[in-house]
Amino acid sequence: MEEIVKEQREVVKKVILEHGKTVVDTIKVSQLYGGMRGILGFICETSCVLPKEGILFRGHSTAKIEECLPRAEDGCVPLPEGMIWLLMTGKLPTQEEVKYITKYLNEHSTLPEYVIQVMDSLPKELHPMTHFAIGLQALQLNSITLKKRKEHQKTEWWRLILRDAMDLLSKITLIAAHTYNHNYRGEKICYQVDCELDWSANFTKMMGFKNPKFDECIRMYLTLHADHEGGNVSAHACHLVGSALADPYISFVAGLNGLAGPLHGLANQEVLTFLNELIKDIGKTPTDEQVLNWLKGWLKPGKVIPGYGHAVLRVTDPRFTTQENFAKRNIKDDAMVNLVHQLYRVVPNFLKSLKKINNPYPNVDAHSGVLLSYYEMKQNDFYTVLFGVSRAIGLMSQLVWARAFMYPIERPDTTTTEGLLELIKAKKEGKDKQGNDTKDAKEK
């Protein structure tokens, strides 16, 4: 990391020096009122989403990730430990480097007793995301950043953030497993990892699952959901709080609370609800014609088809394709899985016929909840916790690099509607924000 940080700092320094005054975007009034959609706001190095390629992790497609990241012994999908290495360093890992990450996570996985006591005291009726966030926030006492920050120069703070980030990743599956066992199984178990197992296999074992295929499913899930650029709610919230130099525990919980919002992290739950409604009305093995007729009725009140569409993508989400291929390899003749595949045959052409849909193709959420349910993780409100475990990989990597580049505190300007109208009027009169004549006005 030290070598890579030094190299990348020089790259960014050169970009700012040579292009610091170049205008790369403009802002419309509709964007100010529209959730800042489409505004290029800040830099995220770990991933980007392109309309026809899907998400690129450090420049690598989902297909490349599947091909190149190391797998578990006898496994068919990448280990998420490889994604940790890739997003942190920008380099595709070797098998030995992935083993190093697994070993590190296992060796630093012990939960402080006070954290377990805090979580044990929580009522079972508490939403699992709240339980999860409380456990993670309680870990802040571990923070090297808090203890050592004053002893280090700003240029070296990324080292402290990296240590805290890896500490959080080493313990996050234990806290998620406690959430699952406390809320659904009513069991107190010894949260101690098996150093012979990888990150995902330890996670599923602590939750009481014993199916090796589910281990593979979770490896795939944690890898595919690890990052999604920096502007979504959870990533931006984590970045924003981190820009105030908060430690990774506090910053991540801020992002996690954003993920808990129904417009961000609940999509795969909505897909399951939608599929169950469909089955209730027309059965588990409907014909394509029955599905089409049912969809027409579903859309009439202004509803959408959950799992279809994307803010950026204009093709089938490659992460959906990865899950579809996994299901075809490992699951034979399951009604819900078959229905997902049937919808993929039917829905895109149906939505295209409406002529007002930008992207009629499935996204990652169209399949993930169905796979989790198939392997007996049927507690839908836990899915967001699982999402949070995965997304920690990307958000921790983003935090490390934000401090490595020494980005300043995020503080955009705001205005009132009245102030905005005055700015618009001044713009039309050829004046800038301070009331000075602009270049265009002088030329006129």
Which of 231, 211, 257, 259 lies closest to 374, judged by CA? 211
Helix 365-374 and helix 212-224, axial crossing angle in degrees, nearest 10: 160
Q: How far apart are CA 183 and CA 409, in angstroms?
A: 38
Residues annotated as catalytic are: 264, 310, 365
Structural Rg of the chain based on CA atoms? 24
Which of 78, 46, 338, 378 lies closest to 221, judged by CA? 78
Which residues are bridge partners to 54 per DSSP? 50
Q: How far apart are CA 341 and CA 355, in angstroms?
A: 23
φ/ψ of 394, rounded to 5, equals: -70, -45
Which residues are bridge partners to 60 per DSSP? 57
Query: What DSSP state is assigned to residue 21?
Result: T
From its phi and psi, is residue 283 left (phi > 0), alpha (psi between -120 and 50) or beta? left
Q: How far apart are CA 120 and CA 187, in angstroms?
A: 10
Which of 183, 163, 80, 182 lies closest to 191, judged by CA? 182
CB 433 within 8 A of CB 423: yes
Q: Which tokens belong to 314?
A: 């204009």
Give the list of residues 6+ apart from residue 251 with CB closer than 8 angstroms, or none. 238, 239, 241, 242, 395, 399
